[in-house]
Amino acid sequence: MKVFIVTKQPFPNGMAATNRIICLAKALNATGVDCRVIIFSRTYTDHSIPGIGVFDGIPYEYIGGSSQRPKNQWLARLQSLWLRVALLGYLKKNIQSGDVLYEFIGGENRLKDMMIRMVHKRGGLCVSELNEYPFGTGKESKKAVKQREYAFRCLFPRDDGVLAISDALTDVAKQYCSPQCVIQKIPILVDFERFNLQNESALAPMPYIFHAGTLSEQKDGILGMIEAFGMARQKLQFPIKYILTGHIDASPQAQEIRELIRRFNLGDSIEFVGYLYQEQIRAYLSKASLVISNRPKSQQDFYGFSTKVGEYLAAGKPLITTNWGEAAKWLKNGENAYIIEPEDTNALADRIVHVFENQGEARAIGEAGRELCHTCFDYRVWSNTLGEYLTRLMLKTQTK
């Protein structure tokens, strides 16, 4: 049996979704399963990245053998269409009876429909990754609702298996998948040894908060974080800094972010460092004094579970987060994290001040978070579960 993880996530890079794919593949490889990652997207411009190779022991292949994307917009669109056709050809050629297609694509109803047909015709099995509420990552629209309804009605019942990242998404799978579908909850996964970092915060020129997520209000509550930082900075008797990944211009809240920077006169106290590779993220994280996951009270954050939370915990950094969604089922306030109500900027600012004024307590909470990650989110902990899952999948589908 071979497992093909099909994704449109660039590979390898430091993105949370890619890190989850890597952890899943390494956990499966640890059970002796032949697992490979197949990518049908193009976002890289770095010509040093081979189109076919092995990363961290995981074989991967860009469909077409290249990771490059044309600079011309129209050529890029034509390439995108061609890659989807080429992917189906690849599956037709390589999927054999008993193999598993692990679909990690999201938002691709038409492609998933064709893949299911192709794989089932070849005698293979289809398993879906469910880490977001279908078509629920943007603003709710008639189009999104229509696409979600189609997925629930026409695609979910044909899945042989589902891996869901949260209890809420497990319930969604149980509601819409067939009784024969093998459903398993697998929470956020972290390569604990990679993110189990030495605390180098004392080496930073200035104490800082680090944010390695998006600059999105809907997903990461970015405006509340920056406003709370501005408020906390005014209360503290010493300077602190905020370092964030991404570019302001790429944020849907670019104008509001600039207004907050002006309003609180943040100037050199806030820095946007662009998109980073995993090694760069680890370097910034090791020197950070605090991390924040300001999950707002949104549909997306209720169903999802941020992989970055696990990486923050593994690094032993004190974490401030909200009691919304799956994370609240694992974390305990004052024990392994600081937990506040969602969308409470004043509470967030007060917690930031508390952390910087109580570093001994904060370090202890960070260490407790590290231990939680080690015992609950390290991909090695879930390797046997995934091996047993594949066994159940094979046995149950054979009785269909």
Same domain, 213 and 184: no
Asked if residue 202 and residue 172 are part of one domain, the reply reads: no
Residues in the chain: 400
In this structure, the strands spanning 58-62 and 52-55 are: antiparallel
Are 104 and 7 spatial neighbours (Cβ–Cβ below 8 Å)?
Answer: yes
Residue owning tokens 């050809």: 89
Q: Are residues 275 and 177 in the same domain?
A: no
Extract the tokens encoding 87.
């992917």
Q: Is the separation of the CB atoms in 116 and 7 below 8 Å?
A: no
- Does one domain contain both 184 and 210? no
DSSP 12: S
Kindly give the pairing relationship between strand 241-244 and strand 270-272: parallel
Q: Report yes or no: 330 and 376 within 8 Å, Cβ to Cβ.
A: yes
Going from the C-alpha of 74 to that of each of 63, 159, 303, 326, 328, the distances in angstroms are: 19, 34, 35, 40, 44
- The SS3 of residue 31 is coil
**Alpha carbon of 56 to those of 13, 43, 60, 61: distances in Å?**
12, 21, 10, 14
**H-assigned helices in the chain:** 16-30, 73-94, 109-121, 142-150, 167-176, 192-195, 217-220, 222-235, 254-263, 278-287, 299-303, 307-314, 345-357, 359-376, 383-398
Evaluate if pTM is beyond 0.75. yes
Nearest alpha-carbon partner for 211 in 291, 153, 267: 291
Do 63 and 122 have their domain in common? yes
Q: Indicate the helix (H) or strand (E) that contains 112.
A: helix 109-121
Structure token digits, residue 142: 């008639």
* 254 and 135 together in one domain: no
The domain in which residue 142 lies consists of 2-189+379-398
Per-residue pLDDT of the chain (400 residues; tens, 9 = 90+): 899 999 998 777 667 788 899 999 999 999 999 999 999 988 765 556 788 999 889 999 999 888 888 888 899 899 999 999 999 999 999 999 999 999 999 889 999 999 999 999 999 999 999 999 999 887 789 999 999 999 999 999 999 999 999 999 999 999 999 999 999 999 999 999 999 999 999 999 999 999 998 899 988 999 999 999 999 999 999 999 999 999 999 999 999 999 999 999 999 999 999 988 888 999 999 999 999 999 998 888 899 999 999 999 999 999 999 999 999 999 999 999 999 999 999 999 999 999 999 999 999 999 999 999 999 999 999 999 999 999 999 887 666 5
For residues 183 and 200, membership in a common domain is answered with no
> Could you tell me if 364 and 234 lie in one domain?
yes
- Which CATH number covers residue 107? 3.40.50.2000
The verdict on 250 and 358 lying in the same domain is yes
Regarding whether 226 and 138 lie in a shared domain, the answer is no
Question: Residues 153, 228: one domain?
Answer: no
Number of structural domains, the chain? 2
In angstroms, the CA 297 to CA 318 distance is 22
DSSP, residue by residue, 174-186: HHHS-TT-EEEE-
Report whether 311 contacts 224 (CB < 8 A): no
**Whether residues 171 and 268 fall in one domain:** no
